[in-house]
Amino acid sequence: MGFESLASELESRKKKHLYRKRRLLQSPQGTEVQLDNKHFLAFCNNDYLGLANHPDVVRAFQQATNECGVGGGASHLVNGHHQQHHLLEEELAEFTGRDRVLLFSNGYMANIGAVNALLSKGDLVLEDRLNHASLLDAGLLSGARFQRYQHANLESLSQYLSKPRAEDNRTLVVTDGVFSMDGDIPPLPDLANTCRENNAWLMVDDAHGFGTLGQNGGGCVEHFGLGQDDVQVLVGTLGKAFGTAGAFVAGSELLIETLIQNARTYIYTTSMPPAIAAATRVSLKRLQSEHWRRERLAELIKRFRTGAAQLGYELMDSASPIQPILIGSEEKALALAAWLEEHGVLITAIRPPTVPKGTARLRITICAEHTAQQVDRLLGLLDQARVQ
């Protein structure tokens, strides 16, 4: 069999303005980057607190590499569970106020592993329809009955929860903490109450909330004051505000032991490099204690929102660093991204199937490392773009 059908599929993607392309980063990640031999002011990375290139974090990584080598060398359950992993798990448990934490190599695997360790055929998984792809994939893969409820909508969730269920079957409600393409936050205290009333567990993936939300960067659960009894399965990723790589699941002793026994994406993979864990321990300290990073971020977000709204752009209900501008058509979103790129500013156009049809957008992310002048430069270009 030839590959003609693949070629026509790719061609049709191109025609629909849905073709994805990679580009070559030739500088460190940051607010100013060198990409495909051009210099850009970037509003599209997730290093929200500017910790990825912090000298102390880099130094911790280098030192740990000297001491323990580059690779994890084996899976956690063979002999790849290093002292640095162990210490980071303990420090993250204290940070999140949970009994225990389990590290995963990335967020995608944490989500797949956690959902699949908890559910199987006969169970029920209810997901917000705008959940991150890894959560949706996790639910589908589990073999449990899979249902998506309307975005952040308690009534819609309750409808599914009120249907009769066998008593010994499990129900898991799954949501992003900060929605990755919209930047908004679901009504978590209400979701937690609804889950409690209906004998369901609540799982929150707070990939974008850790570091940016809560007084100490403890994410949406700190922001709302929710404990382990409210959100039983809490996921964080380390590749965003922590500035490193990897992910973790936080929860009760029983949850973590269950994941160690059952989570296939934990069991059957090489542990994250121990030096990443060592670097994350340093970034965790800064993320917690350097409140000025969150304050600066909040000021920049406000500056951007005020300016963009004055220009008449349609923003979303987001106080987070994710500040999409809603465009609608894929073609127009691509054209605006291309025009900004010609003028030296890099922003990704997000199109279906990542977002629902008709809601293509420019996904702007703001970081504490941006300056007010850089935000103003973006606003100036958005002003000019209106008349192009």
Residue whose CB is less far from ligand PMP, 108 or 149: 108
Rounded CA gap, 14 and 23, in Å?
Answer: 17
Residue whose CB is less far from ligand PMP, 237 or 374: 237
User: What is the DSSP code string of 130-167?
Assistant: T--HHHHHHHHHT-SEEEEEPTT-HHHHHHHHTS---T
Candidate list 30, 239, 307, 352; residue touching ligand PMP; CB under 6 A: 239
Binding piece for ligand PMP, criterion CB under 6 A, among 104-112, 192-200, 248-256, 347-355: 104-112
Whether the CB-CB separation of 146 and 193 falls below 8 Å is answered with: no
Whether the CB-CB separation of 320 and 241 falls below 8 Å is answered with: no
Candidate list 119, 207, 275, 349; residue touching ligand PMP; CB under 6 A: 207
Least CB distance from residue 67 to ligand PMP, whole Å? 25
Establish whether 160 is an annotated binding residue.
no
The yes or no reply on residue 107 touching ligand PMP (CB under 6 A) is yes
Phi, psi of 315 (to 5 degrees): -95, 170
CA dihedral 372, 374, 378, 380 (to 10 degrees): 70
Rounded CA gap, 23 and 44, in Å?
Answer: 13
* Residues in Cβ contact with 95 at an 8 Å cutoff, skipping those fewer than 6 apart: 216, 218, 284, 288
Least CB distance from residue 48 to ligand PMP, whole Å? 12
Establish whether 266 is an annotated binding residue.
no
Residues 116-155 that bind ligand PMP (CB under 6 A): 132, 134
The yes or no reply on residue 205 touching ligand PMP (CB under 6 A) is yes
Establish whether 149 is an annotated binding residue.
no
Q: How far is CA 153 from CA 70, 135, 182, 244, 324, in A?
A: 45, 17, 15, 33, 21
The yes or no reply on residue 175 touching ligand PMP (CB under 6 A) is no
Establish whether 31 is an annotated binding residue.
no
The yes or no reply on residue 237 touching ligand PMP (CB under 6 A) is yes
Number of amino acids touching ligand PMP (CB under 6 A): 12
Least CB distance from residue 79 to ligand PMP, whole Å? 24
Rounded CA gap, 174 and 128, in Å?
Answer: 7
Chain residues that interact with ligand PMP, rule: CB under 6 A: 106-108, 132, 134, 176, 180, 205, 207, 237, 239, 247
